[in-house]
Amino acid sequence: MKIKEFNYAKIKAPGIDQRYLSPEQIDQVTASLSVLWQKKLLGYSVEQRPIYAWSWGEGPQKLLMWSQMHGNESTTTRGLLDLMRLLDEDTEWTRQIKALCTLCVVPVLNPDGAHAYTRFNAAGIDLNRDAQAQTQPESQYLIALFNSWKPDFCFNLHDQRTIYHVGDHPVPATMSFLAPAADDQRSIPEHRARAMQVISDINEWLQSYIPEGVGRYDDAYNINCVGDTFQTLGTPTILFEAGHFPDDYSRINTRALVCLSLYTAINSIAFDLYVYQDIDQYLSVPQNGKRFVDILVKSPYRLSSIWRQGQALAITLEEKLVNGAIQWWPSIPEVVEENAFWGHKTYDIALAQEQLLLQSKEDVWSVIQNLIK
């Protein structure tokens, strides 16, 4: 991924190309930041891991960003670490931003989940359903930070699964965004409109990198979600969902796009560029659908009469943490209607038989294993 807006190769944090990102790896990256970034301990997780907030800048616009409240969603954290290094560079742009904005960044809100590579915290709670109950220390720190620091914009950073596509097209939703609802009626008060305008700006920039690859997330209101809560409290809040890029399960390209999106958002807010955007642009970003599977095996009826024509086998790749790295394991195939799904990879048994590529049923398994590699 080449980013023309800045020298991405130079600022890209080294050594974090894999999906598994431990709290120690995050510490290694942040340890190399200059004194422009100030570290503050927010408190300790359920398993007593420290949770830090990093602040940067002196400007009046206050931007709060947190990532990895779901421990197995590291792509936005990696892009966020890249952004921290970008802001650590002494350039004309960073000097201007420093005078216009102050950032407060929590790279990993759920370090226990990051360590174990799970969505949940160590008590088994989804922190993004704990905004009202606030039963967990991690939730309490974030809400306390929000209440005391009073940000002007919030960025809630996540990963989404490979199932998502943009609109009705077989194009992966490599990046998705949402200005969460602020009430049951999903009305658009002024502050929510501002979140939409910033997303419109990000979308415009991203189109030159991933044409048609930007989706809009469902805005069903759930006050238990942190983003919905902050939006309800009147602060423009933006949800990022980093998604699939073709043939890139480590999400190296998506991570670069996260960094670019954050850069664009900061630029847009610092220089008040978003005010020129129309919320109709945001509303015209296609909504995400869920019709992708990782591997789609077509025409299985050619192998056995237990399947009929028109059916296909859908295989999902499931992540497993093995010795500090993520491995991808195929799920048990699910029988689906062939026309109802798209595969990131597709294998048609009928076609293979016609081309004499497939001699026996046993060959199917080896073909599927090859597709996974």
Query: Closest approach of Cβ 244 to Zn ion, in Å?
Result: 15
List of residues 6+ apart from 87 with CB closer than 8 A: 36, 37, 56, 57, 94, 97, 98, 103
Specify the residue, 62 or 158, whose C-beta has the smaller distance to Zn ion: 158
- Interatomic CA distance for residues 56 and 76, integer angstroms: 19
- Look at residues 210, 230, 253, 227 and name the one whose alpha carbon lies nearest to residue 157: 227
Contact with Zn ion (CB under 5 A) among 62, 85, 115, 158: 158
Binding part of the chain for Zn ion, among 15-23, 65-73, 82-90, 179-187 by CB under 5 A, reads: 65-73
Specify the residue, 12 or 255, whose C-beta has the smaller distance to Zn ion: 255
Binding part of the chain for Zn ion, among 72-80, 130-138, 183-191, 203-211 by CB under 5 A, reads: 72-80
Burial tier of 219 (Cβ tally within 10 Å: 0-12, 13-18, 19+): middle
Specify the residue, 181 or 270, whose C-beta has the smaller distance to Zn ion: 181
Q: Is position 70 an interface residue for Zn ion (rule: CB under 5 A)?
A: yes
Size of the site for Zn ion (CB under 5 A): 3
Is residue 56 within 8 A of residue 100, CB to CB? The reply is no
Binding part of the chain for Zn ion, among 42-50, 73-81, 166-174, 320-328 by CB under 5 A, reads: 73-81
- Interatomic CA distance for residues 123 and 107, integer angstroms: 20
Query: Closest approach of Cβ 307 to Zn ion, in Å?
Result: 35
Query: Closest approach of Cβ 93 to Zn ion, in Å?
Result: 30
Is residue 240 within 8 A of residue 76, CB to CB? The reply is yes
Query: Closest approach of Cβ 26 to Zn ion, in Å?
Result: 17
Query: Closest approach of Cβ 177 to Zn ion, in Å?
Result: 13
Specify the residue, 197 or 254, whose C-beta has the smaller distance to Zn ion: 254
- Interatomic CA distance for residues 320 and 286, integer angstroms: 32
Q: Is position 251 an interface residue for Zn ion (rule: CB under 5 A)?
A: no
Eight-state DSSP code of residue 247:
T
Instruction: Return the SS3 of 210.
Output: coil
Binding part of the chain for Zn ion, among 95-103, 157-165, 200-208, 316-324 by CB under 5 A, reads: 157-165
Instruction: Return the SS3 of 109.
Output: coil
Specify the residue, 101 or 125, whose C-beta has the smaller distance to Zn ion: 125
Q: How many CB atoms lie within 10 A of CB 119?
A: 18
The kind and range of the H/E element at 269 are: helix 252-270
Query: Closest approach of Cβ 95 to Zn ion, in Å?
Result: 34
Query: Closest approach of Cβ 226 to Zn ion, in Å?
Result: 10
Specify the residue, 126 or 152, whose C-beta has the smaller distance to Zn ion: 126
Is residue 74 within 8 A of residue 21, CB to CB? The reply is yes
Binding part of the chain for Zn ion, among 22-30, 138-146, 153-161, 343-351 by CB under 5 A, reads: 153-161
Rounded to a whole number of angstroms, the distance between the first and last alpha carbons of the chain is 21
- Interatomic CA distance for residues 102 and 56, integer angstroms: 6
Specify the residue, 180 or 300, whose C-beta has the smaller distance to Zn ion: 180
- Interatomic CA distance for residues 2 and 5, integer angstroms: 9
Query: Closest approach of Cβ 259 to Zn ion, in Å?
Result: 18
Specify the residue, 69 or 171, whose C-beta has the smaller distance to Zn ion: 69
Specify the residue, 73 or 138, whose C-beta has the smaller distance to Zn ion: 73
Strands (DSSP E) contained in 164-211 are: 165-166, 175-178
Query: Closest approach of Cβ 157 to Zn ion, in Å?
Result: 8
State which residue has the least CB distance to Zn ion. 158
Structure tokens at 149: 């620091």
Q: Where does this chain bind Zn ion (CB under 5 A)?
A: 70, 73, 158
